Structure 1
């Protein structure tokens, strides 16, 4: 992967001239990962910037997250944007509405797992169970190291029978365990669905897709867009299908500022400069 901000000049003309379809993960991409999901704070300066970008005729914004759809819409709160929650299983906003079919038995299994987990979590300090409807998430960032191992072992022992029957899929994220439905759907397919159903009405033609995310669940989107868009992984030192990386949430914001400036430029302009916060370097 190449460092996105170091390669920014090579992307300038594309960003200045093409219609842009911006896909953004939320936790770990726009906001720092918090000890619990409800403690994550969407910075006002970032929200204001995305609001300005969404008002540009050349830009469409979609948020793609593991959060439930209503939760995602609530924490971001921007109109005229598209929201894809539950890893893309639920899509709404700006004229779109889609819910990927989940097997009926999945809800029953999630209810059983949730009941069992609640009974097991009473003596584990710091564990937090989040019911997203389609997905069930167990956050253990605040747990002690021994308790983290206990939780992982519990999942391996008690959820594996469901996995072996192909009844659920378990995803291991950043200090997070998720019980997900077994479907043929993921963030990558959700992004393709959005692109297929939206660009003609939005731009009347082709758009350059930009996808930024930090989680392994974003890899399906990186793969789908690798040869036809700008794909960005947040964080370095990890294998990813993304073409570029940024170091952290702060650099995501710097890139978004650059994109916003490009949206306001014509092809005749030299293009904006970008200054990395605290590094004293312009691109």
Structure 2
């Protein structure tokens, strides 16, 4: 079913906004393997200028763990709030990360997934602080089996299933990107500023909904689909170009 297209975001949208940014597929291009993402100096420089332009009202909101984001972005995100593990980890600028203990059920699932798929180089088992994902971009024929395994563990252990682009993840329940954005909007530097959330995947939809609820807007990156976003840009390059023009 075709969806009506969304307009591009207007100039000046970020003037008094709080900016919440997904990572994969938004700030960086998707890669065949999650550890193969490339972060260049152009991006880290852009993030530094954004932080200055918005007086620190910038947050990275990702399904990756905060530790993974630190490894990719380093000092570039020290001045920012960072959300990892689909909202289960939150680190305000200058503070320690808030995160619950990793459930033992995730350790058991990790072992089971590795036992089934670990010998297949086309499949990546990504272990996160509060989740474990099966990436099957290189072997799409295993999608049904991977989904069934994750759903079985979720049903048995009270965990959540998070589908994404050519991946399926088992994670802690009770959190999403929307809940994290709502939490950050309660305090400085985001309080009193309409949130703009930018993302590309189904995992970003809760963030789009919360941004709209708080008087802001979502920006969808990529092909048009059913979304709570108000605006759309076709790809990572066009979004980064739009950001540059906002500075």
Give yes or no for contact 1:73–1:83 (8 Å, CA) kept in 2. Answer: no
Give the 3-state SS of the residue equivalent to 2:162 in structure 1. strand
Counterpart Cα distance in 2 of 1:57 and 1:240: 26
Q: Deviations over 1:196-219 (max 9, x none)?
A: 12237xxxx622321100111111
TM-score, reference length from structure 1? 0.77
Deviation of residue 123 (structure 1)? 4.7
Where does structure 1 differ by over 4 angstroms across 4 or more consecutive aligned residues? none
- State the aligned residue count: 240
The answer to whether the Cα contact below 8 Å between 2:185 and 2:192 also exists between their aligned partners in 1 is: no
Q: What do residues 203-252 of structure 1 show as CA deviations (whole Å, max 9, x unaligned)?
A: xx622321100111111111111151131011122111111111000111
Match of 1:86 in 2: 85
Native 8 Å contact 2:160 2:173 kept in 1? yes
Aligned partners of 2:6 and 2:232 also within 8 Å: yes
CA distance in 2 between partners of 1:253 and 1:155 (Å): 33
2, 5, 10: which one pairs with 2:6?
2
> Could you give the per-residue CA deviations for residues 15-56 of structure 1, whole angstroms, max 9, x where no partner exists?
44x2x3111001000100001111101132122111112123
**Equivalences for residues 213-224 of structure 1 within 5 A:** 213-224=199-210
Q: 1:123 to 1:71 in 2, by over 3 A?
A: closer
Distance 2:242 2:54 in 1: 19
| Corresponding residue number in structure 2 for 1:132 | 128
SS of residue matched to 1:4: coil
Structure 2 stretches lacking a partner, 5+ long = none
> Is 1:195 paired with 2:185?
yes
TM-score (norm 2): 0.88
1:23 counterpart = 2:20: yes
> C-alpha separation between the residues in 2 aligned to 1:237 and 1:31?
19
Structure 2 Cα separation of the partners of residues 118 and 187 of structure 1: 27
What does residue 158 of structure 2 align with? 167
Match of 1:210 among 170, 180, 196: 196
Farther-moved stretch of structure 1 (112-121 vs 80-89): 112-121
The alpha carbon displacement at 1:3 in A equals 2.3
Q: Which runs of 5+ in 1 are unaligned?
A: 261-283
